[in-house]
Structure 1
């Protein structure tokens, strides 16, 4: 007969078993609740003989797709899908059975769906496939809007530079170029004076009025483009006489007064004409020729029409001078870094800073990065400048740390040229080692387009950066490829919404929905979302309500010197 000690041990084992059982039941309940309240759709696909069956696990999306609760935990034949969708799923399942993760878009019940199939492999065999479906209807609408915004200027609704390049490329490929077809580039003279005097809004009014006037005078068959800034391009297929007449008429309408703030303002323009023929095979060449003619006309005083010829070299001379100035600026330490805080949307606490290069030219004043960085890339100076920026930013972080400040992430912009250089990773490692920078507080910002130029190589380098502890962000999101595929494919941490969308949040129809979709998209892929260009409390309130994570902009701080950043950080220490 068991003694008392044996009985107590048995009782203890029984209680322990019961506790474990209760814990497992609780975990099971919690797991079921998570699945139940998941906003997506989760399902499992199994193969029996030559047929495929799927069973729903859970997800609120099933209600929107009108899927029966009876499918939960039950095997259902693919025949519940219509013929086209059934064939698509069979194709993707077969692909997934090779052990490959598969993602694809489709529609169901008038919803746009993004589905992902992930094979479960055991002993080298796929035993089942776990699927996830996400409702991307709102994002697809926003994506269509982005596609329009990518091809058309938001201020004038004219096709933009990208659309011009695309249209010219198509014409060249189709060999439809008429020898008399011309590209007319019109550059407004001294629009900056109006912007500086009356503000950006007045300058935008001028651009809008110019576009209206151009639409009124251009013959049928002509295409008008907002090339950018203060430039328009007209592509026409007319006689030389008609082309010259239109160019002069464009100058005439520009000279007509503009009523701004109840006052008349007068402007002039400079026009460059590039005649198109089959000897030129690149769209950019036509544009460059017209641009050279414009710059030649401006050197002559502006307010005139210039037809391109091969002797026009003033523009190139100016570029050569700027190239020389860039080399001297680097040699004589004329470049400096300013830092703009990245702030938590909800706590208003600084969580990071972005390092921004500045160049104060001795004679020309402040030259924006958008002017000198492309030239630096072209002349092979970007490697040295990029290395200096990274080293300076890392050294500054260490200085802040030595002062006892709370560590915050320092973000550095990297160009497509730098990212593709074979020595880039070695250079980053060397700078981190030599400066004593903690890589866990370093962030590298890359634009959408730069990561798409050499995809596989970019993925490899980005993965190596992540392995070093460095964070990665996609800068200016929405202005480039805007592909859901790369958000899933590339090892990024942050998504930065371009300031152009934030700026027009309340002035452009659809902007709010686009920003909402971008934030939701980022969170769907587990990314932190940063809104750039926040300049008012109303905008901040909006992104707070959308659960955006961080923001940058003049509402909190413009880019400032390191000492001012130190003061701001001390306020939170």
Structure 2
């Protein structure tokens, strides 16, 4: 049985009240008018009877004169019957009108019946009674007057009803808006979006909204306080206090995660060494040296220059590293960076300071040991050259010429139109080992090989085909889910750059709606680094998907931890914590406290937490002890 909403009940009450009031007013007016007309008819009958009786009496009850007077009165048409009944009870003169005059319909006459009482007056002849005059008025004109009055009253009652209805409509709509505001706020809370609303002016709704807003405000304050505490802890554990750069432990974890995760754009690693830093420190003193290193670190932390996903670190006292996308690591840009840092150091030391710098790209199959070995050799060569040039490690390795943007565009178009794309699936498991879902990054066919996303997505973004690739990946995942009803879910990695396409969101929503049942097992995720510069567009995505059955999450979470303070009103479903926090977690008490706090704050607003890049069974056990809901990585099969 369909439930009647409160608004519908209010409307019913308003309509019922208007109808009852109008009907009651109309009925009362009509009955009052009928009684008045009935009294007027009785008075008319009495006046006519008395007048005729007096005139006939004055004419000595002459039958001929009496008949003449009665005929004259009757012909006016105001009477139904006029009779002169003799003293013997027999009618001497009688006129009767059988025709019912007036335009009032029969049903109206039956409801508002007029039954005026006949009037009687005595006729005398001298001292003798000559009979009585009986007069009954004609009610047809009264019916017509009453009918016309009913129409007029009905018209004005209808006008009044419409005015009252309009006022009631305004009131109901006002209440409806207030109710919808509170309902939408409660619904948003169930979707993990903690929002506040303006307090309605009415006391009842105002108090309810005030209570809801107070609860949301407390949640936000608790969330922000916990986020601030975790940010302080994260920086204490993973960052150098002097330069603000990542420490060696965290950076090596990030480097290992990037080597494992080949879905991102290819990267370049710079290794820098400040020569004779100890001598500079003894000459300048610690405060000035710390200021110099702080400015040195500020240059390396410039994410607008090197990309939001870049990562700079202080590996030890004089060694620094910068991991940045290959697109930001052209030779001219690196030389400009070297010259800028060299000038900065020399300005503090008041003399030229050698800055050795080496660079290498991250290649398929590389390990951290391989990369650092190449960089150490190249850095030694840069030091031998007195730090005046950048050494490119492995620059003598032959590389095939890179395809042009036009060639890449043709390859991507061909893949979208044919079968040049596929999803590869990796398990994501919970504490009991059950499959939560399968992460499914996209692959592009190139000859006999399948390229990881990190090798073709940068060109897809550059040639504006990334939205088409993401939509194709979602379509493939939905088809696979429909064909595999036992699959618990497939997670598709979406590029944040797709949000720039004006058609992407509309087409994504349309695809998901077409596969209602299968879409309940679809997981969509975007990288944290791409969300930050497009936060408003990501919020629009969250709102568009809020009513759909699919899940939405953030991957590589924690690289830009400031995002955690804005999660309370997005309505996402889960976080995938970056592998840089996960590696060797069983040995790092500081990161254990940090990750436990992340799990607590996420669980408090209903978010699941999954760890990326798990390489060891010991890491997996520790992560579940810290409160993680799932894990993925090489150790998870």
Gap runs ≥5 in structure 1: 1-98, 100-115, 223-242, 255-267, 271-296, 302-313, 558-573
Change (3 A) 1:121 1:522: same
Does the CA contact (< 8 Å) of 2:443 and 2:452 recur in 1? yes
Equivalent residues, number? 348
Q: 1:138 deviation in Å?
A: 4.5
Whole-angstrom CA distance in 2 between matches of 1:120 and 1:417: 34
What's the counterpart of residue 330 of structure 1?
416
Native 8 Å contact 2:555 2:578 kept in 1: yes
Matching residue within 136, 160, 163 for 2:322? 160
- Equivalent of 2:380 in 197, 207, 213: 213
1:487 to 567, 571, 574: 567
Structure 2 SS opposite 1:367: strand
Q: Which structure is higher in strand share?
A: 1
Partner of 1:123: 201
Going from structure 1 to structure 2, the CA distance change for 1:395 and 1:151 (only over 3 Å counts) comes to closer
| CA shift digits 1:217-239 (9 cap, x unpaired) | 575xx7xxxxxxxxxxxxxxxxx
Report deviation, 1:155.
6.5
Tell me the equivalent position of 2:245: 148
Q: d(CA) in 1 for partners of 2:356 and 2:459? A: 25
User: What is the root-mean-square deviation of aligned Cα atoms in Å?
Assistant: 4.5
For residues 157-194 of structure 1, give each alpha carbon's deviation from its aligned partner in whole angstroms, at most 9, with x where no partner exists.
Answer: 6241469999979x99xx99x9xxxx9985549x85xx
Is the contact between residue 558 and residue 577 of structure 2 (CA under 8 Å) also seen in structure 1? yes
TM-score for the superposition, normalised by structure 2: 0.46
Question: Helix, strand or coil: the match of 1:474?
Answer: strand
Distance apart, 1:462 and its partner CA = 1.1
How far off its partner does 1:489 sit? 3.3
Aligned to 1:269: 395
Q: Distance in 1 between matches of 2:376 and 2:568?
A: 43
- Structure 1 or 2: more helix by fraction: 2
Structure ID, larger Rg: 2
TM-score by length of 1: 0.51
For 1:419 and 1:471, the matched residues in 2 are separated by 17
* Aligned residue among 350, 354, 360 for 2:435: 350
Please say if residues 391 and 435 of structure 1, whose CA atoms lie closer than 8 Å, have aligned partners that are also in contact. no
1:413 paired to 2:493: yes
Q: What are the within-5 Å matches in structure 2 for residues 372-387 of structure 1?
A: 372-387=456-471
| 2:627 equivalent in structure 1 | 547
User: Equivalent residue for 1:528?
Assistant: 608
Task: Identify if the C-alpha distance between structure 1 residues 161 and 218 changes in structure 2 by more than 3 Å, giving closer, same or farther.
Answer: farther
Q: Counterparts of 1:451 and 1:419 in 2: how far apart (Å)?
A: 9
TM-aligned CA distance change 1:339 to 1:545, over 3 Å = same
- Superposition pairs of residues 59-458 of structure 1, within 5 angstroms: 121=199, 123=201, 131=218, 132-133=221-222, 134-135=225-226, 136-143=228-235, 145=238, 148-149=245-246, 151-153=311-313, 158-161=320-323, 186-188=358-360, 196=365, 200-207=367-374, 209-210=376-377, 213=380, 216-217=383-384, 243=388, 246=389, 250=391, 268-269=394-395, 318-345=404-431, 347-362=432-447, 365-401=449-485, 405=486, 408-435=488-515, 437-458=517-538
- Contact 2:427-2:438 within 8 A present in 1 as well: yes
Assess if the C-alpha contact under 8 Å between 1:443 and 1:473 holds in 2: yes
Mapped contact 1:186–1:269 kept (Cα < 8 A): no
1:496 paired residue number: 576
C-alpha distance in 2 between matches for 1:408 and 1:151: 35
Kept in 2, the 8 Å contact 1:448–1:482? The answer is no
Question: 1:333 and 1:119, CA in 2 relative to 1: closer, same or farther beyond 3 A?
Answer: closer
Distance 1:398 1:420, change over 3 A: same
- Find the residue that maps to 2:613 and give its secondary structure: coil
The 1:530/1:521 distance shift into structure 2, 3 A limit, reads: same
How has the CA–CA distance of structure 1 residues 550 and 211 changed in structure 2, closer, same or farther, with 3 Å as cutoff?
farther
Q: Secondary structure at the match of 2:440?
A: strand
Q: How far apart in 2 are the matches of 1:366 and 1:117?
A: 44
In 1, the alpha carbon distance for the partners of 2:610 and 2:377 equals 35
Whether the 8 Å contact between 1:425 and 1:465 is mirrored in structure 2 is no
Deviations 1:498-552 (A, max 9, x none): 1232235357784444433432332243311000112221011101110111111
Q: Secondary structure at the match of 2:479?
A: helix
Q: 1:439 to 1:329 in 2, by over 3 A?
A: closer
Rounded to whole Å, the distance in 1 between the matches of 2:195 and 2:457 is 42
Distance 2:477 2:383 in 1: 52
SS of residue paired to 2:490? strand
Q: Secondary structure at the match of 2:438?
A: strand
**Which secondary structure does the structure 2 equivalent of 1:503 belong to?**
coil
User: CA separation in 1, counterparts of 2:312 and 2:597?
Assistant: 20
Task: Give, in whole Å, the separation in 2 of the partners of 1:499 and 1:322.
Answer: 30
**Which residue of the partner structure matches residue 236 of structure 1?**
none
Distance 1:137 1:454, change over 3 A: closer
Q: Secondary structure at the match of 2:585?
A: coil
Checking the alignment, whether the CA contact within 8 Å between 2:499 and 2:537 is kept in structure 1 is no
Q: Give the drift of 1:335.
A: 1.6
Looking at structure 2, the residues matched to 200 and 506 of structure 1 have their Cα atoms a distance apart, in angstroms, of: 21
Unaligned runs of 5+ in 2: 1-181, 183-193, 247-309, 347-354
Contact 1:415 1:450 in 2 (8 A): yes
Partner Cα distance (2:378, 2:592) in 1: 26
> How big is the shift at 1:472?
1.1
Q: 1:185 to 1:366 in 2, by over 3 A?
A: farther
**Secondary structure of 2:546 counterpart:** helix
With 468-477 and 392-401 compared, the bigger mean Cα shift is at: 468-477
Q: Distance in 1 between matches of 2:588 and 2:408?
A: 37
Q: The residue matched to 1:325 in structure 2 has which SS?
A: helix
